[in-house]
Amino acid sequence: MDTSALSRQFIKVQGLQLKCIPFAGPSRSELRDSLSEHKLLAIGTWNQDLQRHCLSVLDLQVWTHPETGAVQQDAWQELACWACEGRPTDVQVTMQNGNEVTILVATSSGHLSRVVLLIPQHSGATPSDVQVLNEEEFQGNTGDTMGCSPQLHSGGISAADISSGQTQAVTVGADGAVNLVELKDWTCHCFRPASSSRSYYDAAWASRHTFVTAGTTGGLESWDTRQGGTPVHRTPAAWHPDGRPSLPGGLDRQIHCLDIMPERQQECAAGSSGGAVSLWDLRFCRQPILCTANADHGDVVEVKIASRGQDAIPSSSIIYCTNAGILAQVGWPGQAVAEWQKSGFTTIPQQETRKHSSTADVLWQELCGGLGSFDTHAGLHQEIYCITSQEGLLHLRL
C-alpha cells in the first residue's frame, strides 16, 4: 500500500469505541435533487465537562444534491452527547428506511443503552435538524442521560450486536454468559449461563437465528437460537500460520475480535493475539480459508472485512488494528479465489496459494501507543476512522 496516497487528519478526542453511521454519499449512480446526506460518527467517550462516560455523535460532512450536482460541506462538529451508565465497551449501529439510525451502546457496568435518530435528507438540512425518536427513554433534567437496560452481566459487556430484524441483541461478557435481549422492553433471555471457566470477547449475528462468538475457550463458536445453549459448530482452538490445525491450547492464536458481512453470512473474519488474522467459511470450520500472522504487529483488537462486493469469493481484503498501533490490510490473491470457485466453495485452498498473503500492508503505524477501535465509510473514497490510545481520532482516506 502506497501510504503517500492517504490523507491524514488528527483531532483530540478521549475516545474508547467508535462506529460509523451508514452513509451513501455521492457515490450513487443517480444523485437525487434537493437531498442532503450526513456523514455521522458515533463514539463512546469520556466527557471532560460532564465528568462522565458518554455517547457522542459527530457530524463530519454534509452532502447536498442540488440540480447542478453534489456539494460537500465539512462539518466536524459534535451533534449531541448523552451520558452512559458506565464506560462504553462496544458501540453498534444499524440503519433502516434509509434515514432511521439505531445506536446501541454496551457498558462496563453490564448495561445496554440505545438512541434512535432520524437523519434529515431535505436540502439545506443542518446537524440541528437530526431528531431523537426515543426521547421518552432518556433521563436527567435536560434528557442528557440515556436510559438503560437492567444489568445483563456480572461485570462488563464485552460485545453486543443487533439482529438483522433490529428487534433483538446478543450480548457476551467476561462472566461467560450469553444473553439474547429484546430491544423493545429490555427483556433478557439467558441463552447460556455465566461460568467461571470461560469468558467471551466478541459476538456477531450471522443470520436471523444464528450468531458467532469468540472467547477464552479458543476458536469461534456458532450458535443457533432455536437449538438451545450449545454451539452447533466450533473451529479448532489453534492453527498454524499456513491454516492447518494445531495442537489444542494454542494461546498464541486466541481470538479477540470478529466480523461478519451481512450480505455474505457464511464468511467470518477473526483477529487474534500474535498479530494473526484469519478468514473462515462457517460452513466448513475445520481450518481457515485465509490465515496470516505478523507477530511484531501485536494483538489484533478489531477486524473488518473490507470487500463488500458479492462477486469476489472469498472476500478480497481484511483491515485490522492492533494494540501495538498498527492499522493494516491483508489481501487474498486472485489465484486462491479462482481455486475456491472451481471447487464449488467446498475445498480449502492449498498451502501454496495461501502463502502469497502471509504479509500485510501497513496503512498506519501509531508510534506512541496502540489503536483501540476503527470503522470504515464507503463513499467516493474508502475512509477509515480510528481511535488511538493517545486520545486521538485518526482519519485516513484511501
Q: What is the pLDDT of residues 224-267, one digit of tens each?
A: 999 888 899 888 877 766 666 665 544 456 889 999 977 777 88
Phi, psi of 221 (to 5 degrees): -125, 130
pLDDT digits (tens, 9 = 90+) for 268-300: 999 998 888 988 888 878 888 788 888 899 999
Return the pLDDT at 10.
42
Name which of 170, 214, 206 is nearest 190 in CA terms: 170
- Domain assignment present for residue 272? The answer is no
- Domain assignment present for residue 25? The answer is yes
- Domain assignment present for residue 384? The answer is no
- Domain assignment present for residue 53? The answer is yes
Q: Which residues contact 69 (CB under 8 A, 6 or more apart)?
A: 31
pLDDT digits (tens, 9 = 90+) for 193-221: 999 888 999 999 999 899 999 988 778 99
pLDDT category of residue 5 using cuts at 50, 70 and 90: very low
99-118 b/e (C-beta count within 10 Å ≥ 16 → b): eebbbbbbbbbbbbbbbbbe
pLDDT above 60 (res 386)? yes
DSSP of 335-382, one letter per residue? HHHHHHHHTTS-SPPPHHHHGGGSS-EEEEE-TTS-EEEEEEEESSSE
Average pLDDT, whole number, for the chain?
Answer: 79
pLDDT above 90 (res 13)? no
pLDDT above 70 (res 141)? no
- Domain assignment present for residue 154? The answer is no
- Domain assignment present for residue 269? The answer is no
- Domain assignment present for residue 62? The answer is yes
Mean pLDDT, range 355-380, rounded to an integer: 77
What residues make up the domain containing 56?
10-146
pLDDT above 80 (res 71)? no
- Domain assignment present for residue 285? The answer is no
Split into its structural domains, the chain has a count of: 1
Mean pLDDT, range 62-81, rounded to an integer: 68
Residues in the chain: 398
